[in-house]
Amino acid sequence: MKRYTKDLLKARTVRAIQQKTARFRRHFGLDRPASASLRVLDRADALSTIDKECRSAAEDKVQQILEAEADEHLDRERYEHKLKTEHLGYRNGHAPKRTIATRCGPVTIRPPKFRQLKQPFVSNLLAKRQQQTSGLNDFLPDLYLAGLSLGDFDLFLREFLGEGANLSTSHIARLKARWQVEYRIWAKRPLRKAYAYVWADGIYLRVGGSNDRLAVLVVLGVNEDGTKELLAVEPGYRESDANWQAVFAGLRARGVERIRLVIGDGCQSLWNAVAAYYWEAAQQLCWCHKIRNVLANLPDRLQIEARADLRDIYRATSRAAATETIIRFAEKYQAYGPAVERLLRDQDRLLTFFDFPKDHWKSILTTNPIESIFAPVRTRLNKAKRIRSTYAALALVQQLLQVRMPRLVKINSARQVAYVLAGEQYRDGATIDHRTSKSTRKNRCA
């Protein structure tokens, strides 16, 4: 009896579900027979069909626009009769199919043909002999910057743009050549008169022969809005006095009259150039470089402890506290003279940041702002293997850095940058005297 009851309840449940499903299908019209032209697609076919339908719709729309342009040029629609004296020309079928490479794939169209035209037909939509859209010309170089090598472009173009797309690696090479022209124009553009902070550093690239290395000298500045701005990307065989002086001489010639603070590594050539062209600018050594230099002269067993002691110096709240920490470090590691000497000889330039707003300390302690935009440059150049031309390397670096610039955030407390440029004085990160500072700013602005 129990088995019979269970089977009966199960049958009733199945029948109720079937009735509910039938009502659902009738409500949404799913019980009507499907058209013979339609079929249920699996996921792969469905995605492919979407691409085909979108491309077909785009082709139809472009063809309609071309036909409308033809009607407008002839001043009559197809099969519309007019007097022969009023005719501006006649249709003559269509030209052979042409495939246009677009960012959404290849689009095949048939441009209209004419005869006995009184005025030549010029389409606003499709230029003569056009084979790709202007947006594609901007898109392909971006792919190269993102890491797609020239050897992979042929496969990519076939998959993405279709077999009929008339694009090749030589097309990419021509677009790259345009970057070199853009770089020469960019390198001579005028700059602002004053920058609050400037970071300067160099990277080495393998360019030309197997033993040649190119030093790319990069300068990044902070303008009055607190925005970081790429100022210079210049070549140099090495970071020599002549090369760095050429960079800062170029900044002076392009309109930069004043810099409040320059942040860089321990390269003496850099500081010689700063002293020659911007002698009024304060100098701040990068703490990351200095820590590495000091630790290189200490045994491995002291590395972790010494690193913490060095960090305590720039984490101090005042110059006096930082100086006391330096003294304690020198006494603690007095047995390692070279390490202590490396720290003490640059003590003044390591503590310059105390003369600027405390909110800016995090940014001006190191050259990390410029190192952060170098990281993707190095990654991309590793994929490029070897660059034969100097200007090709410079153009590539400049393009890579320009791509990164919009992603950089403003410096912390950007509103204080204007006060720094106006000459406001600080002690241990705080304004010395607001009344004196206001009068100083007024005199500077006047």
pLDDT tens-place string over residues 338-362: 999 999 999 999 999 999 999 999 9
What pLDDT is recorded for position 207? 59
Same domain, 108 and 238: no
Query: Residue 170 is inside which H or E element, if any?
Result: helix 169-186
Higher-confidence residue: 94 or 30? 94
pLDDT at 437 over 50: no
What pLDDT is recorded for position 141? 62
Q: Please spell the DSSP secondary structure of 66-118, one letter per residue.
A: HHHHHHHHHTS-TT----GGG---EEEEEPPPEEEEETTEEEEE--EEEES-S
What pLDDT is recorded for position 409? 80
Structure-block tokens of residue 334: 């007095």
Same domain, 141 and 275: no
What pLDDT is recorded for position 34? 53
Tally of domains in the chain: 4
Structure-block tokens of residue 368: 């990390």
Average pLDDT over residues 302-323: 94
Residue at token pair 């019980």? 31
Same domain, 401 and 424: no
Structure-block tokens of residue 22: 């039938």
Note whether 364 and 197 are within 8 A (CB).
Answer: yes
pLDDT interval class at 114 (50, 70, 90): confident
62, 82, 115 — which closes off a domain?
Answer: 115
What pLDDT is recorded for position 416? 92
pLDDT at 302 over 70: yes
Higher-confidence residue: 117 or 336? 336
| Entry pTM | 0.67
Q: Is 107 inside a domain boundary?
A: yes
Are β-strands 258-264 and 194-205 bridged in parallel, bridged antiparallel, or unpaired? Answer: parallel
pLDDT interval class at 305 (50, 70, 90): very high
Q: Is 22 inside a domain boundary?
A: no
Average pLDDT over residues 29-58: 62
pLDDT interval class at 196 (50, 70, 90): very high
pLDDT interval class at 334 (50, 70, 90): very high
Q: Is 1 inside a domain boundary?
A: no
Average pLDDT over residues 148-161: 61
| 3-class secondary structure, 234 | strand
Q: Residue 83, CB half-sphere, CA atoms under 13 Å: how many?
A: 2
Same domain, 67 and 160: no
pLDDT at 200 over 60: yes
Query: What's the CA gap between 412 and 380, in Å, rounded?
Result: 29
Q: Cα–chain-centroid distance for residue 99?
A: 31
Same domain, 248 and 156: no
Q: Is 375 inside a domain boundary?
A: yes
User: For 143-157, 259-273, 364-378, which range has the lowest pLDDT when averaged over its residues?
Assistant: 143-157
| Helical segments of 219-295, H only | 241-253, 268-277, 287-295
Q: Which residues form the domain of 297?
A: 190-413
Same domain, 105 and 205: no
Q: Is 220 inside a domain boundary?
A: yes
pLDDT interval class at 10 (50, 70, 90): confident
Higher-confidence residue: 86 or 163? 86
Q: Is 249 inside a domain boundary?
A: yes
Query: Residue 426 is inside which H or E element, if any?
Result: strand 426-427
Q: Is 30 inside a domain boundary?
A: no
126, 149, 184 — which closes off a domain?
Answer: 184
User: For 144-148, 334-338, 428-432, which range has the lowest pLDDT when averaged over its residues?
Assistant: 144-148
User: For 36-40, 134-138, 364-368, which range has the lowest pLDDT when averaged over its residues?
Assistant: 36-40
Q: What are phi and psi of 283, to 5 degrees?
A: -125, 130
Same domain, 176 and 216: no
Average pLDDT over residues 217-222: 92
**Closest listed residue to residue 394, CA positions, set 105, 118, 240, 176:** 176
**Residue-wise pLDDT tens digits, 64-89:** 888 888 888 787 777 777 766 677 78
pLDDT interval class at 294 (50, 70, 90): very high
DSSP state of 346: T
Same domain, 201 and 310: yes
Q: Is 5 inside a domain boundary?
A: no
| Cα–Cα distance list, 166 to 21, 112, 133, 172, 286 (Å) | 53, 21, 12, 12, 51
Same domain, 382 and 331: yes
pLDDT at 182 over 60: yes
Same domain, 227 and 265: yes
pLDDT interval class at 365 (50, 70, 90): very high
Higher-confidence residue: 435 or 151? 151
What pLDDT is recorded for position 364? 94
User: Over the chain, what is the mean pLDDT?
Assistant: 79
145, 163, 184 — which closes off a domain?
Answer: 184
Same domain, 176 and 195: no
Strand-pairing partners, residue 248, are none
Same domain, 396 and 430: no
| 3-class secondary structure, 230 | strand
| Cα–Cα distance list, 142 to 175, 251, 329 (Å) | 11, 29, 50
Query: What's the CA gap between 269 and 240, in Å, rounded?
Result: 6
Higher-confidence residue: 172 or 264? 264
**Residue-wise pLDDT tens digits, 228-252:** 999 998 887 677 888 899 999 999 9
**Residue-wise pLDDT tens digits, 375-434:** 777 666 666 555 666 677 777 777 777 777 777 788 989 999 999 999 899 999 998 865
What pLDDT is recorded for position 117? 82
User: For 34-43, 89-98, 115-124, which range has the lowest pLDDT when averaged over its residues?
Assistant: 34-43
